[in-house]
Amino acid sequence: MADVTSTWTEPSNTPLALLLLGKGTDPASERGVDCPGDLPAPSDPDLVARATAAKAALGDRVFVLGHHYQRDEVIRFADVTGDSFKLAQQAAARPDAEFIVFCGVHFMAESADILTKPSQRVILPDLAAGCSMADMAVLGQVETAWEHFQDLGIAGDIVPVTYMNSSADIKGFVGRNSGVVCTSSNAKRALTWSFEQGSKVFFLPDQHLGRNTAVLEMGFDLDDCVLYDPHKPHGGLTDEELRNAKMILWRGHCSVHGRFTIDSVREVRERVPGVNVLVHPECRHDVVRAADYVGSTEYIIKALDAAPAGSAWAVGTELNLVRRLALAHPDKQVMFLDRTVCYCSTMNRIDLPHLVWTLEELVAGRVPNVITVDEKTAREARVALDQMLALP
Ligand code: 13P
Ligand code: SF4
Protein backbone atom coordinates (compact mmCIF):
# COMPACT_ATOMS: atom_id res chain seq x y z
CA MET A 1 0.00 0.00 0.00
CA ALA A 2 1.23 3.51 -0.80
CA ASP A 3 2.62 5.59 2.01
CA VAL A 4 -0.32 7.96 2.62
CA THR A 5 1.92 10.82 3.66
CA SER A 6 4.26 10.51 0.70
CA THR A 7 3.00 13.49 -1.30
CA TRP A 8 2.25 15.88 1.54
CA THR A 9 4.75 18.53 2.57
CA GLU A 10 3.79 20.42 5.68
CA PRO A 11 4.03 24.20 5.16
CA SER A 12 6.58 25.92 7.41
CA ASN A 13 5.42 26.35 10.94
CA THR A 14 5.18 29.66 12.68
CA PRO A 15 5.04 30.08 16.47
CA LEU A 16 1.39 31.12 16.07
CA ALA A 17 0.58 27.94 14.17
CA LEU A 18 2.12 25.84 16.92
CA LEU A 19 -0.10 27.60 19.45
CA LEU A 20 -3.17 26.98 17.32
CA LEU A 21 -2.31 23.32 17.24
CA GLY A 22 -2.03 23.26 21.02
CA LYS A 23 1.73 22.63 20.81
CA GLY A 24 2.69 25.70 22.77
CA THR A 25 1.21 28.03 25.32
CA ASP A 26 0.49 31.72 25.40
CA PRO A 27 -1.73 32.58 28.36
CA ALA A 28 -2.43 36.02 26.87
CA SER A 29 -4.15 34.45 23.85
CA GLU A 30 -6.23 31.93 25.79
CA ARG A 31 -9.32 34.14 25.80
CA GLY A 32 -12.45 32.03 25.94
CA VAL A 33 -10.94 28.71 26.92
CA ASP A 34 -12.37 28.97 30.41
CA CYS A 35 -15.34 26.70 30.79
CA PRO A 36 -17.75 26.64 33.69
CA GLY A 37 -16.50 23.11 34.40
CA ASP A 38 -13.23 21.23 34.08
CA LEU A 39 -11.74 21.37 30.62
CA PRO A 40 -9.67 18.20 30.13
CA ALA A 41 -5.98 18.68 29.43
CA PRO A 42 -5.03 18.34 25.73
CA SER A 43 -2.46 15.75 26.81
CA ASP A 44 -5.08 13.48 28.44
CA PRO A 45 -4.51 10.12 26.67
CA ASP A 46 -8.17 9.13 27.21
CA LEU A 47 -9.77 11.99 25.26
CA VAL A 48 -10.81 9.85 22.29
CA ALA A 49 -12.24 7.16 24.58
CA ARG A 50 -14.06 9.79 26.65
CA ALA A 51 -15.60 11.45 23.58
CA THR A 52 -16.61 8.06 22.17
CA ALA A 53 -18.22 7.00 25.46
CA ALA A 54 -20.07 10.29 25.99
CA LYS A 55 -21.38 10.33 22.43
CA ALA A 56 -22.55 6.72 22.74
CA ALA A 57 -24.27 7.50 26.04
CA LEU A 58 -26.16 10.37 24.41
CA GLY A 59 -27.13 8.29 21.36
CA ASP A 60 -29.77 9.94 19.16
CA ARG A 61 -30.20 12.78 21.63
CA VAL A 62 -27.15 14.46 20.12
CA PHE A 63 -26.34 15.40 16.52
CA VAL A 64 -22.79 16.60 15.82
CA LEU A 65 -22.17 18.84 12.80
CA GLY A 66 -18.60 19.53 11.64
CA HIS A 67 -17.39 22.16 9.17
CA HIS A 68 -14.65 21.05 6.78
CA TYR A 69 -12.13 23.39 8.47
CA GLN A 70 -12.35 21.58 11.79
CA ARG A 71 -9.40 19.60 13.15
CA ASP A 72 -9.22 15.87 12.36
CA GLU A 73 -9.59 15.06 16.06
CA VAL A 74 -13.01 16.76 15.99
CA ILE A 75 -14.16 15.78 12.49
CA ARG A 76 -13.95 12.09 13.43
CA PHE A 77 -16.86 12.62 15.85
CA ALA A 78 -19.08 14.53 13.39
CA ASP A 79 -22.29 12.83 12.25
CA VAL A 80 -22.29 15.11 9.21
CA THR A 81 -19.47 17.15 7.70
CA GLY A 82 -20.02 19.91 5.17
CA ASP A 83 -19.52 23.42 3.92
CA SER A 84 -21.66 26.24 5.29
CA PHE A 85 -24.51 25.52 2.87
CA LYS A 86 -24.68 21.79 3.51
CA LEU A 87 -24.52 22.32 7.27
CA ALA A 88 -27.35 24.88 7.10
CA GLN A 89 -29.43 22.30 5.20
CA GLN A 90 -28.44 19.51 7.56
CA ALA A 91 -29.09 21.46 10.77
CA ALA A 92 -32.80 20.67 10.47
CA ALA A 93 -32.24 17.07 9.33
CA ARG A 94 -32.60 15.53 12.79
CA PRO A 95 -35.66 17.16 14.40
CA ASP A 96 -35.67 14.55 17.17
CA ALA A 97 -32.15 15.33 18.39
CA GLU A 98 -32.32 17.42 21.56
CA PHE A 99 -28.80 18.79 21.16
CA ILE A 100 -27.06 20.02 18.02
CA VAL A 101 -23.34 20.27 18.82
CA PHE A 102 -21.99 22.62 16.18
CA CYS A 103 -18.29 22.17 15.49
CA GLY A 104 -17.79 25.30 13.45
CA VAL A 105 -18.02 29.00 14.24
CA HIS A 106 -20.57 31.26 15.91
CA PHE A 107 -22.48 32.48 12.84
CA MET A 108 -23.02 28.87 11.73
CA ALA A 109 -24.41 27.92 15.14
CA GLU A 110 -26.74 30.96 15.04
CA SER A 111 -28.06 29.86 11.64
CA ALA A 112 -28.57 26.35 12.97
CA ASP A 113 -30.55 27.76 15.91
CA ILE A 114 -32.75 29.72 13.49
CA LEU A 115 -33.35 26.67 11.28
CA THR A 116 -34.01 24.09 14.02
CA LYS A 117 -37.07 23.54 16.21
CA PRO A 118 -37.44 25.76 19.31
CA SER A 119 -37.10 22.69 21.53
CA GLN A 120 -33.68 21.82 20.07
CA ARG A 121 -30.63 23.43 21.59
CA VAL A 122 -27.59 24.40 19.53
CA ILE A 123 -24.27 24.24 21.33
CA LEU A 124 -20.92 25.76 20.32
CA PRO A 125 -18.17 23.90 22.23
CA ASP A 126 -16.05 27.08 22.60
CA LEU A 127 -17.83 30.43 22.67
CA ALA A 128 -14.67 32.15 21.42
CA ALA A 129 -15.06 30.43 18.05
CA GLY A 130 -16.18 33.52 16.15
CA CYS A 131 -15.30 34.75 12.67
CA SER A 132 -13.26 37.88 12.00
CA MET A 133 -15.07 38.41 8.69
CA ALA A 134 -18.51 38.27 10.30
CA ASP A 135 -17.29 40.79 12.89
CA MET A 136 -16.45 43.26 10.09
CA ALA A 137 -20.14 44.08 9.55
CA VAL A 138 -21.92 45.49 12.59
CA LEU A 139 -25.68 46.12 12.40
CA GLY A 140 -25.44 49.83 13.29
CA GLN A 141 -22.91 50.42 10.49
CA VAL A 142 -25.09 48.57 7.97
CA GLU A 143 -28.19 50.54 8.99
CA THR A 144 -26.24 53.81 8.62
CA ALA A 145 -25.28 52.79 5.09
CA TRP A 146 -28.88 51.86 4.28
CA GLU A 147 -30.19 55.20 5.59
CA HIS A 148 -27.74 56.94 3.26
CA PHE A 149 -29.00 54.86 0.33
CA GLN A 150 -32.56 55.89 1.33
CA ASP A 151 -31.56 59.57 1.43
CA LEU A 152 -30.08 59.21 -2.05
CA GLY A 153 -33.31 57.59 -3.28
CA ILE A 154 -31.58 54.37 -4.38
CA ALA A 155 -32.55 51.99 -1.56
CA GLY A 156 -35.65 50.87 -3.50
CA ASP A 157 -33.40 49.63 -6.33
CA ILE A 158 -31.07 47.70 -4.03
CA VAL A 159 -31.37 44.06 -2.93
CA PRO A 160 -29.25 43.31 0.15
CA VAL A 161 -27.38 40.01 0.01
CA THR A 162 -25.41 38.69 2.93
CA TYR A 163 -22.90 35.90 2.93
CA MET A 164 -23.71 33.20 5.45
CA ASN A 165 -20.59 34.41 7.28
CA SER A 166 -22.42 37.22 9.06
CA SER A 167 -24.18 37.64 12.39
CA ALA A 168 -27.86 36.77 12.81
CA ASP A 169 -28.81 40.44 13.13
CA ILE A 170 -27.23 41.21 9.74
CA LYS A 171 -29.26 38.32 8.28
CA GLY A 172 -32.30 39.84 10.02
CA PHE A 173 -31.59 43.21 8.36
CA VAL A 174 -31.40 41.44 4.98
CA GLY A 175 -34.61 39.52 5.65
CA ARG A 176 -36.63 42.63 6.54
CA ASN A 177 -35.35 44.36 3.41
CA SER A 178 -36.40 41.50 1.11
CA GLY A 179 -32.92 40.16 0.43
CA VAL A 180 -31.25 36.77 0.59
CA VAL A 181 -28.43 34.92 2.33
CA CYS A 182 -25.86 33.17 0.16
CA THR A 183 -22.93 30.85 0.67
CA SER A 184 -19.86 30.27 -1.44
CA SER A 185 -21.64 27.39 -3.19
CA ASN A 186 -24.73 29.34 -4.30
CA ALA A 187 -23.52 32.95 -4.61
CA LYS A 188 -24.13 33.03 -8.38
CA ARG A 189 -27.69 31.75 -7.96
CA ALA A 190 -28.32 34.26 -5.17
CA LEU A 191 -27.02 37.15 -7.28
CA THR A 192 -29.00 36.01 -10.33
CA TRP A 193 -32.17 35.98 -8.20
CA SER A 194 -31.29 39.36 -6.67
CA PHE A 195 -30.78 41.05 -10.04
CA GLU A 196 -34.24 39.81 -11.02
CA GLN A 197 -35.65 41.68 -7.99
CA GLY A 198 -33.66 44.94 -8.32
CA SER A 199 -30.97 46.69 -10.33
CA LYS A 200 -28.31 46.85 -7.62
CA VAL A 201 -26.95 44.56 -4.92
CA PHE A 202 -25.56 45.56 -1.53
CA PHE A 203 -23.23 42.64 -0.74
CA LEU A 204 -22.19 41.91 2.88
CA PRO A 205 -19.63 41.34 4.34
CA ASP A 206 -17.11 39.63 2.01
CA GLN A 207 -15.99 41.96 -0.76
CA HIS A 208 -14.04 39.14 -2.43
CA LEU A 209 -16.89 36.66 -2.77
CA GLY A 210 -19.13 39.49 -4.05
CA ARG A 211 -16.59 40.79 -6.57
CA ASN A 212 -15.43 37.35 -7.73
CA THR A 213 -18.97 36.16 -8.31
CA ALA A 214 -20.16 39.35 -10.04
CA VAL A 215 -17.14 39.73 -12.32
CA LEU A 216 -16.02 36.16 -12.99
CA GLU A 217 -19.39 34.41 -13.01
CA MET A 218 -21.99 37.05 -13.91
CA GLY A 219 -20.11 39.10 -16.52
CA PHE A 220 -20.00 42.43 -14.64
CA ASP A 221 -17.02 44.78 -14.99
CA LEU A 222 -14.79 45.65 -12.08
CA ASP A 223 -16.03 49.22 -12.62
CA ASP A 224 -19.57 48.07 -11.83
CA CYS A 225 -18.39 47.33 -8.27
CA VAL A 226 -17.69 49.93 -5.57
CA LEU A 227 -16.24 49.30 -2.13
CA TYR A 228 -18.19 50.68 0.83
CA ASP A 229 -15.87 51.36 3.76
CA PRO A 230 -17.95 51.51 6.97
CA HIS A 231 -15.23 53.53 8.68
CA LYS A 232 -15.54 56.46 6.25
CA PRO A 233 -18.43 58.92 5.89
CA HIS A 234 -20.85 57.62 3.25
CA GLY A 235 -18.59 54.62 2.82
CA GLY A 236 -15.92 56.83 1.23
CA LEU A 237 -18.03 56.96 -1.95
CA THR A 238 -19.53 59.87 -3.86
CA ASP A 239 -23.27 60.00 -4.58
CA GLU A 240 -22.49 59.47 -8.25
CA GLU A 241 -20.39 56.36 -7.56
CA LEU A 242 -23.23 54.88 -5.51
CA ARG A 243 -25.83 55.77 -8.15
CA ASN A 244 -23.76 54.18 -10.95
CA ALA A 245 -22.71 51.04 -9.08
CA LYS A 246 -24.30 47.66 -9.74
CA MET A 247 -22.55 45.96 -6.81
CA ILE A 248 -21.97 47.85 -3.58
CA LEU A 249 -19.43 45.66 -1.78
CA TRP A 250 -18.94 45.88 1.96
CA ARG A 251 -15.29 46.27 2.95
CA GLY A 252 -14.87 42.90 4.69
CA HIS A 253 -12.66 39.92 4.01
CA CYS A 254 -11.50 36.59 5.36
CA SER A 255 -8.16 36.87 7.10
CA VAL A 256 -7.33 33.25 6.24
CA HIS A 257 -8.03 33.33 2.49
CA GLY A 258 -6.71 36.89 2.26
CA ARG A 259 -3.24 35.48 2.96
CA PHE A 260 -2.93 33.86 -0.48
CA THR A 261 -1.31 36.15 -3.04
CA ILE A 262 -0.64 36.18 -6.73
CA ASP A 263 3.00 35.41 -5.83
CA SER A 264 1.86 32.15 -4.18
CA VAL A 265 0.24 31.18 -7.51
CA ARG A 266 3.27 32.17 -9.63
CA GLU A 267 5.66 30.39 -7.29
CA VAL A 268 3.78 27.08 -7.32
CA ARG A 269 3.37 27.17 -11.11
CA GLU A 270 7.14 27.58 -11.51
CA ARG A 271 7.90 24.89 -8.97
CA VAL A 272 5.35 22.30 -10.15
CA PRO A 273 4.80 22.37 -13.93
CA GLY A 274 1.25 21.37 -14.85
CA VAL A 275 -0.11 22.00 -11.35
CA ASN A 276 -3.84 22.76 -11.05
CA VAL A 277 -4.51 25.76 -8.83
CA LEU A 278 -7.79 25.39 -6.95
CA VAL A 279 -8.94 28.17 -4.63
CA HIS A 280 -11.87 29.26 -2.50
CA PRO A 281 -13.83 32.34 -3.72
CA GLU A 282 -13.00 34.18 -0.47
CA CYS A 283 -9.51 34.66 -1.98
CA ARG A 284 -8.57 38.01 -3.50
CA HIS A 285 -9.71 38.75 -7.03
CA ASP A 286 -6.26 38.55 -8.63
CA VAL A 287 -5.64 35.17 -6.98
CA VAL A 288 -8.97 33.77 -8.15
CA ARG A 289 -8.36 35.14 -11.65
CA ALA A 290 -4.96 33.42 -11.77
CA ALA A 291 -6.35 30.10 -10.50
CA ASP A 292 -7.64 27.26 -12.69
CA TYR A 293 -10.64 26.37 -10.53
CA VAL A 294 -12.63 28.17 -7.85
CA GLY A 295 -15.31 26.90 -5.49
CA SER A 296 -16.57 26.30 -1.99
CA THR A 297 -15.03 23.76 0.35
CA GLU A 298 -17.52 21.14 -0.82
CA TYR A 299 -16.56 21.91 -4.46
CA ILE A 300 -12.86 21.58 -3.59
CA ILE A 301 -13.45 18.16 -2.04
CA LYS A 302 -15.40 16.94 -5.08
CA ALA A 303 -12.79 18.32 -7.51
CA LEU A 304 -10.06 16.32 -5.80
CA ASP A 305 -12.22 13.20 -5.64
CA ALA A 306 -12.71 13.45 -9.42
CA ALA A 307 -9.07 14.29 -10.25
CA PRO A 308 -7.02 11.66 -12.08
CA ALA A 309 -4.25 9.79 -10.27
CA GLY A 310 -0.88 11.46 -10.74
CA SER A 311 -2.32 14.97 -11.12
CA ALA A 312 -0.94 17.85 -9.03
CA TRP A 313 -3.08 20.31 -7.07
CA ALA A 314 -2.19 23.47 -5.16
CA VAL A 315 -5.16 24.28 -2.96
CA GLY A 316 -5.89 27.73 -1.54
CA THR A 317 -8.11 27.22 1.45
CA GLU A 318 -7.79 26.41 5.16
CA LEU A 319 -4.95 24.07 6.10
CA ASN A 320 -6.85 21.45 8.14
CA LEU A 321 -8.93 20.67 5.04
CA VAL A 322 -6.00 20.71 2.60
CA ARG A 323 -3.96 18.36 4.78
CA ARG A 324 -6.91 15.99 5.15
CA LEU A 325 -7.39 15.97 1.37
CA ALA A 326 -3.71 15.28 0.77
CA LEU A 327 -3.82 12.30 3.12
CA ALA A 328 -7.04 11.03 1.54
CA HIS A 329 -5.51 11.15 -1.97
CA PRO A 330 -2.02 9.64 -1.75
CA ASP A 331 -2.13 8.91 -5.51
CA LYS A 332 -2.39 12.66 -6.26
CA GLN A 333 0.05 15.40 -5.39
CA VAL A 334 -1.92 17.74 -3.15
CA MET A 335 -0.14 20.75 -1.73
CA PHE A 336 -0.97 23.91 0.15
CA LEU A 337 -0.96 27.03 -2.03
CA ASP A 338 1.15 29.00 0.42
CA ARG A 339 4.59 28.24 1.86
CA THR A 340 3.54 28.92 5.44
CA VAL A 341 0.67 27.54 7.48
CA CYS A 342 -2.71 29.19 7.34
CA TYR A 343 -5.30 27.94 9.83
CA CYS A 344 -8.55 29.59 10.72
CA SER A 345 -7.66 30.33 14.34
CA THR A 346 -11.29 30.52 15.46
CA MET A 347 -12.31 27.26 13.77
CA ASN A 348 -9.30 25.71 15.49
CA ARG A 349 -10.59 26.76 18.91
CA ILE A 350 -12.94 23.79 18.80
CA ASP A 351 -10.56 21.05 19.84
CA LEU A 352 -10.99 17.62 21.39
CA PRO A 353 -10.87 18.88 25.01
CA HIS A 354 -13.76 21.28 24.30
CA LEU A 355 -15.73 18.55 22.53
CA VAL A 356 -15.18 16.08 25.37
CA TRP A 357 -16.17 18.72 27.91
CA THR A 358 -19.33 19.57 25.96
CA LEU A 359 -20.45 15.95 25.53
CA GLU A 360 -19.70 15.01 29.13
CA GLU A 361 -21.62 18.04 30.38
CA LEU A 362 -24.63 16.88 28.35
CA VAL A 363 -24.32 13.37 29.77
CA ALA A 364 -24.28 14.92 33.26
CA GLY A 365 -27.54 16.76 32.51
CA ARG A 366 -26.04 20.23 32.06
CA VAL A 367 -26.36 22.08 28.74
CA PRO A 368 -23.34 24.35 28.14
CA ASN A 369 -22.67 27.14 25.61
CA VAL A 370 -26.17 27.33 24.12
CA ILE A 371 -26.44 29.69 21.14
CA THR A 372 -29.79 31.44 21.07
CA VAL A 373 -31.01 34.02 18.58
CA ASP A 374 -33.83 36.25 19.87
CA GLU A 375 -37.26 35.64 18.37
CA LYS A 376 -37.59 38.80 16.24
CA THR A 377 -34.10 38.52 14.76
CA ALA A 378 -34.62 34.81 14.14
CA ARG A 379 -37.94 35.44 12.36
CA GLU A 380 -36.44 38.09 10.07
CA ALA A 381 -33.22 36.17 9.43
CA ARG A 382 -35.23 33.07 8.62
CA VAL A 383 -36.90 34.93 5.73
CA ALA A 384 -33.47 35.50 4.15
CA LEU A 385 -32.26 31.97 4.95
CA ASP A 386 -35.44 30.37 3.59
CA GLN A 387 -35.07 32.47 0.45
CA MET A 388 -31.58 31.00 0.06
CA LEU A 389 -32.78 27.44 0.61
CA ALA A 390 -35.52 28.03 -2.00
CA LEU A 391 -33.16 29.41 -4.70
CA PRO A 392 -33.71 27.64 -8.04
P1 13P B 1 -17.77 27.41 2.83
O2 13P B 1 -18.04 26.49 3.94
O3 13P B 1 -19.03 27.99 2.27
O4 13P B 1 -16.90 26.86 1.76
O5 13P B 1 -17.02 28.69 3.43
C6 13P B 1 -15.77 28.61 3.95
C7 13P B 1 -15.63 29.42 5.16
O8 13P B 1 -14.84 30.30 5.27
C9 13P B 1 -16.47 29.11 6.27
O10 13P B 1 -16.20 29.98 7.28
FE1 SF4 C 1 -14.29 33.36 9.11
FE2 SF4 C 1 -12.40 33.01 7.25
FE3 SF4 C 1 -12.40 31.52 9.46
FE4 SF4 C 1 -14.28 31.15 7.59
S5 SF4 C 1 -12.09 30.78 7.36
S6 SF4 C 1 -14.60 31.25 9.83
S7 SF4 C 1 -14.56 33.28 6.88
S8 SF4 C 1 -12.11 33.76 9.36
pLDDT value at 57 more than 80: yes
279, 317 contact by CB (below 8 A): yes
Average pLDDT over residues 24-41: 56
Ligand 2 centroid to residue 316 C-alpha, Å: 13
Phi–psi pair at 293, nearest 5 degrees: -140, 150
Confidence (pLDDT) at 34? 54
pLDDT of residue 297: 92
User: Which ligand 2 atom is the nearest neighbour of the CA of 345?
Assistant: 3
- C-alpha of residue 309 to centroid of ligand 2, in Å: 31
- The answer to whether residues 78 and 65 touch, using CB atoms and an 8 Å cutoff, is yes
344 lines ligand 2 (CB under 6 A): yes
CA–centroid distance, residue 325 to ligand 2 (Å): 19
The residue-averaged pLDDT of 348-355 equals: 95
Residue 389, class by beta-carbon neighbours within 10 Å (0-12 exposed, 13-18 middle, 19+ buried)? middle
Contact 356, 40 (CB under 8 A): yes
Distance (Å, whole) CA 108 – CA 87: 8
| Average pLDDT, rounded, for the chain | 92
The lowest-confidence range among 25-34, 229-238, 305-314, 316-325 is: 25-34
Would you say residue 213 has pLDDT above 60? yes
Nearest atom in ligand 2 to 165's CA: 7
pLDDT of 21 > 90? The answer is no
For ligand 1, say whether the CB of 126 is within 6 Å of any of its atoms: no
Q: Is the pLDDT of residue 236 over 60?
A: yes
- The span from the CA of 167 to the CA of 184, in Å, is 16
Query: Is 346 near ligand 1, meaning CB less than 6 Å away?
Result: no
- Quote the pLDDT of residue 15: 55
Summarised one tens digit per residue, pLDDT across range 99-114 is 999 999 999 999 999 9
pTM recorded for the entire structure: 0.90
308 falls in which pLDDT band (50, 70, 90)?
A: very high
